[in-house]
Amino acid sequence: MIYLDNSSTTKIDPEVLEAMLPYLQDEYGNPSSSHYTLAKNAKRAVEEAREKLASLINAKSEEIIFTAGASESNNFVIKGVSDYKKMYEKSGNHIITSKVEHKSVLQVCRFLNGEIYMNNEKKRLGKIITPQVDRGYEVDFLDVNEYGQVTLDTLESTIKDNTSLISLIWGNNEIGSLNDIATLSKLAKQRNITFHSDATQVLGKLTIDVDKISADYLSFSAHKLYGPKGVGAVYMRKPKRTPVDITSLIHGGYQENFYRAGTHAVHNIVGFGKAAEIAKRDLAKNIEKLEKLELQAKEMIKAKYPNVEFLGDPNNHIPGLIGMIIPGIVNEMFIKERCEDLAISAGSACGIGEPSYVINEIGYGNVSSSFVRLSLCKHNNMNDIHILLK
């Protein structure tokens, strides 16, 4: 099997699995329990993982909150900040996001905007949904440029006196374009507006230094980083937060500083920590490898399909993510025919079976069924690309 769908999920790293196993076997203590050794070992393991993830993004460990994945992190930040600002600070109820966010941002924003949230997403297709209930929030979904990026001008012209939260994706999961988070978050800071970015696709793919951006919150997920599924995190900038300005996600015990109650999934958190440690250690090497492989792959694809169009910002995108239109192919059929030995994707894993809204937003709606995404990882090599092309 040639696996080229690493934006969807990655294969767990053997070093990560090895680090996790003791916490599924002999080290089964509850980190929130009493002061006996088994519990203390689990607590130490959770805290070490927190330090490792913090170190990857140049944050402090107390700025990391573990969650069950990036969807949860996005829900937590957007609902939590919005609720806190409206209910406690009385400081605004206007949220700004973009039209090409991951669904775990888009749907929360639609929910807060008062749209009826149906469980069967298919029922929503093609419909213009108008607000159905008044939850007390207003949301603006920003247009993007031809590469799927939000420009400073678009953001600036949408900010209002009651804007309380801006949430913009860092690296797009379908076409790989990067938003200029440093610049966009700086504007938010100047206007005293909380800024969140879904950084799920960029962790371990580029250098994240929280001192170089003004974001207050970032979302992450371990399984995009050769870690386990079911664990994610929120980076929450600390200095100005006294004592909280986000409503808890899960009310209950005191875990995760009261923000997310519930017994820690110690093995998963340890796995995330190990994955972060490895990502930091190998970051430069991995970026170089992915950039080179991507370039070669693109040349070979172009040679075979001269009409191919690579989407996204060629100079500013996630290394190894190739989103392209191959005229004449029907992506789902193309993939089905080869699915036993080849894993590539027709879009995001959360939107399977639907035409991609990201492709639509950047003006390729009429050919969205010819969209194919390859997302390479550190384990891929040129042989994989040769087999793909065959």
Q: Which is nearer to ligand PLP, 60 or 229 (CB)?
A: 229
Cis peptide before 131, with omega less than 30 degrees from 0?
Answer: no
Instruction: Tell me whether strands 321-325 and 309-310 are parallel, antiparallel or unpaired.
Output: antiparallel
Q: Which is nearer to ligand PLP, 23 or 170 (CB)?
A: 170
Distance of CA 80 to the CA centre of its chain: 18
Sign of CA dihedral 276, 279, 280, 281: positive
Q: Which two tokens stand for residue 76?
A: 């937590």
Binding ligand PLP (rule: CB under 6 A), the pick from 232, 273, 312, 320 is: 232
Count of other CB atoms within 10 angstroms of residue 20: 24
225 binds ligand PLP (CB under 6 A): no
Over the window 295 to 334, marking each residue x when it contacts ligand PLP by CB under 6 A and - when it does not, the resulting string is ----------------------------------------
Q: Kindly identify the residues of this chain, within the stretch 122-181, that bind ligand PLP according to CB under 6 A.
A: 169, 173
Task: Tell me the C-alpha distance between 65 and 75, whole Å.
Answer: 13
368 binds ligand PLP (CB under 6 A): no
Q: Which of 196, 178, 206 is nearest to 317 (CA)?
A: 178
Task: Tell me the C-alpha distance between 54 and 63, whole Å.
Answer: 7
Binding region for ligand PLP (CB under 6 A) out of 17-25, 113-121, 175-183, 195-203: 195-203
104 binds ligand PLP (CB under 6 A): yes
Binding ligand PLP (rule: CB under 6 A), the pick from 221, 255, 356, 368 is: 221
350 counts as catalytic: yes
Contacts with ligand PLP: how many residues (CB under 6 A)?
Answer: 14
Task: Tell me the C-alpha distance between 290 and 296, whole Å.
Answer: 10
Task: Tell me the C-alpha distance between 389 and 161, whole Å.
Answer: 53
Q: Which is nearer to ligand PLP, 269 or 308 (CB)?
A: 269
Q: Which two tokens stand for residue 288?
A: 């170089």
Binding region for ligand PLP (CB under 6 A) out of 32-40, 69-77, 182-190, 203-211: 69-77
Binding region for ligand PLP (CB under 6 A) out of 194-202, 270-278, 361-369, 372-380: 194-202
Tell me which DSSP letter residue 252 carries. S
Residues annotated as catalytic (active site), given as ranges: 350
Residues that bind ligand PLP (CB under 6 A): 69-71, 102, 104, 169, 173, 198, 200-201, 221, 232, 349-350
